[in-house]
Structure 1
Amino acid sequence: MGKVGTGWRRTTSRKIRDALDSVVSPKSRLSKQLKRPKATWVEPKFVAEIEYRDVTSEGLLRASSFKGLSRK
């Protein structure tokens, strides 16, 4: 639904990458395959917590902010 505008730091990126590396999947779970040869697929074990003010008419988040990552 868009990109996060704030709340993201380098240390956050490293922690998220480490968490996702623990749930790497050998293949995509999508029913329709994407042409992304460099994609790394992961099991859906985490939820990104995002705060936002509104949703645009295009269906994108407005004024979004990353709040954290939690395990499902």
Structure 2
Amino acid sequence: MEPINHHRVIHHEGEAVMNVCGCGRLHFTYGPITLHFEREEFVAFAGQVGRLAVQVQQMVDGRGPVLLPRPSNMSCH
């Protein structure tokens, strides 16, 4: 008997894979990291990432946003 596949791939491009779980949650995998979302959560997350991508491109183009101090609870590496 074959195992039941409870996930359906809805998008796969390079390291990015989006699955819909049998429970209805979205599983977004990028390389070794998988994030689990409700649909509304993913839409909000994707919107934030899109806005950040625009800011990064603006910085590359020399017209970046004002840099804010990093919160004390955030560390790099």
Larger RCO (CA under 8 A, 6+ residues apart): 1
With the shorter chain as reference, the TM-score category is: under 0.3
Larger radius of gyration: 2
TM-score normalised by structure 2 residue count:
0.25
Per residue, is there more helix in 1 or in 2?
2
TM norm structure 1: 0.26
Structure with more strand by fraction: 2
